[in-house]
Every structure is written in structure tokens, then in C-alpha cells.
């Protein structure tokens, strides 16, 4: 499918966070794009915020030391597995984008809701913000309340507000970038739930005018029964196909 990718396309390739094989797949995908002569490849990172874009640019192009970069963007967790993805555009004519809202913003929304935001905080919310669609909320609620978890409806609602700000901000930053850089292909690295069944990030990208979208959902089949494996990849009777492409791993 790589040879069919056109300029102006947004490719969403998901991951189960910190699953090594998924990060390896993402790197392989980027390298295959370059080998197929795709000239300008940019990468959008869920785990980087748009408010830290200056630090990202300094790290890639101006020699900002990695330790200082990670501190400046408040990176938490393992960076070595993400390093090749963050650095890839430097050598392929593109940019690395921080896509997400500041974590302090989404954390506050999760705790006290959108209505609690100050005027300054509201300015960080994309224009024309909308909550995720009803089917997306249905899946989100099932995830948040599954496994014996009992969460009050108002808590689930606040968490979904934060989730929607997460998706909407990524879509806003990505769509703005593609509008200004129609010769690029933007590869977005994001958690799998945001990419599944078109309801999160793909839905918000379409709402913001992005027409060429390819979704790749990565799944981990380790320890699953044959029936569970089939269940992971077959279309859902209510939500439809999981993604345009499904990439499996066993880790």
C-alpha cells in the first residue's frame, strides 16, 4: 500500500504504548516510505504537545541536547523506543509535530470538566470543538467501566471530555499542517483506541477537512485463542471495520 500513498495523505499508525514490536513496525513503515521515494515525510506525535513545538524544532535542527529537550517537553516514560520516530523527519524533508494538548489541560478536564477551565485555558481548545461521536463514546464508556470498574456517569463524562480534547487537538494541529504543506505525507503515531473504527482521530480529521486518511491499527495477538484472534481483526457488527489495514504482532 505504501506505493499508493499520495502527497497530502495523513497516515494514522496506532500502537499499544511501549510494545516494542509496534514501535519497530512504525519505524519499518517510515523506512519503507523513504525507500519508495516518498520525498517529504513528517511525523506527528501523540505524546508531544503543540505548545512545545519550538523545543521539538530545536532538538531536531538546532542541536538542543536530548536531556534538555525531554525536560522541556515534560516527557515521561521510555524515550529510546520513540527516538527513531521523532528524529526520522530530520533526514526526509519533513517535520516532527507535537499534536496534543498540554497534559495539565487534559488532566484538569478529567478532574473538574470543561466548564472549570479559565479563559486562558479555554484558548488552548481548538475552535469548533466537538465531543466525540456517540458510538465513540459508547466504546469509551465500555472501556472505562469494564472489568468491574464502577465509575459514576459524571466521571465518565469528564474523562470523555478530556479524550475528545485529546483527539480534537491532534486533528486541529494535523489539519492545519496539511493545509500549509500539501506536498507532505504526515504519519501520526497514536494509541490504538484513538484510531480504531474511525470514531476518534479519523473522525475529527475528516470533520476538519482532511480527505486523504489511511488508518493502520496494530494489535497484539499473544496468548489469544484462535477465536479471540479472529474477533480482534474481523469487522465489528456495530462499529464496522477496525481500520483500513491491521498489523499484527505477538509479544
Local structure of residue 2 (DSSP, 8 states): G
SS3 169: helix
d(CA 145, CA 154): 12
Euclidean distance between the first and final Cα of the chain, in Å?
A: 25
Q: Which residue has the cell 480534547?
A: 165
- CATH classification code of 2-249: 3.40.50.11550
Query: Please, what's the b/e burial string for 92-119 (b: 16 or more CB within 10 A of its CB; e: otherwise)?
Result: bebbbbbbbbbeebbebbbeebbeebee
pLDDT at 149: 73
pLDDT at 72: 98
Residues 6 or more apart whose Cβ sits within 8 Å of residue 50:
97, 98, 99, 100, 101, 169, 173
* Residue pair 251/20 in contact by the 8 Å Cβ criterion: yes
Alpha helices by DSSP H, listed for 88-195, are: 103-112, 119-122, 134-145, 153-180, 192-195
Burial class (CB in 10 A: 0-12, 13-18, 19+), 216: buried
pLDDT at 131: 97
pLDDT at 173: 99
Q: pLDDT by residue for the chain (251 residues), tens digit each?
A: 898 899 999 999 999 998 999 999 999 999 999 999 887 999 999 999 999 999 999 999 999 999 999 999 999 888 999 999 999 999 999 999 999 999 999 999 999 999 999 999 999 999 999 999 999 999 999 998 876 678 899 999 999 999 999 999 999 999 999 999 999 999 999 999 999 999 999 999 999 999 999 999 999 999 999 999 999 999 999 999 999 999 999 98
d(CA 213, CA 240): 17
Which residues of the chain form beta strands (DSSP E)? 10-15, 41-49, 96-100, 185-191, 213-220, 245-249
SS3 170: helix
pLDDT at 77: 83
Backbone torsions φ then ψ of 99, nearest 5 degrees: -100, -25
pLDDT at 37: 87
Amino acid at each position: 500500500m505504501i506505493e499508493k500513498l499520495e502527497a497530502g495523505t495523513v497516515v494514522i499508525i496506532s500502537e499499544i504504548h511501549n510494545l516494542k514490536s509496534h514501535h519497530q513496525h512504525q519505524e519499518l513503515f517510515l523506512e519503507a516510505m523513504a525507500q519508495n521515494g516518498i520525498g517529504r515525510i513528517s511525523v506527528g506525535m501523540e505524546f508531544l504537545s503543540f505548545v512545545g513545538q519550538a523545543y521539538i524544532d530545536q532538538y531536531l535542527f538546532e542541536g538542543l541536547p536530548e536531556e534538555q529537550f525531554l525536560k522541556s517537553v515534560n516527557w515521561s516514560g521510555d524515550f529510546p523506543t520513540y527516538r527513531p520516530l521523532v528524529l526520522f523527519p530530520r533526514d526526509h524533508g519533513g517535520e516532527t509535530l507535537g499534536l496534543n494538548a498540554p497534559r495539565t489541560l487534559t488532566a484538569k478536564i478529567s478532574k473538574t470538566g470543561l466548564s472549570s477551565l479559565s479563559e486562558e485555558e479555554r484558548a488552548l481548545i481548538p475552535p469548533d470543538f466537538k465531543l466525540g461521536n456517540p458510538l465513540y463514546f459508547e466504546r469509551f464508556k465500555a472501556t472505562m467501566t469494564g472489568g468491574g470498574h464502577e465509575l459514576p456517569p459524571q466521571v465518565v463524562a469528564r474523562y470523555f471530555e478530556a479524550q475528545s480534547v485529546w483527539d480534537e487537538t491532534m486533528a486541529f494541529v494535523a489539519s492545519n499542517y496539511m493545509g500549509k504543506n500539501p506536498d507532505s505525507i504526515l504519519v501520526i503515531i497514536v494509541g490504538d483506541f484513538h484510531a480504531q473504527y474511525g470514531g476518534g482521530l479519523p473522525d475529527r480529521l475528516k470533520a476538519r477537512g482532511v480527505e486523504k486518511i489511511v488508518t493502520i491499527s496494530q494489535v497484539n495477538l499473544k496468548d489469544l485463542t484462535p477465536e479471540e484472534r479472529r474477533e480482534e481483526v474481523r469487522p465489528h457488527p456495530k462499529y464496522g471495520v477496525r481500520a483500513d489495514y491491521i498489523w499484527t504482532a505477538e509479544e
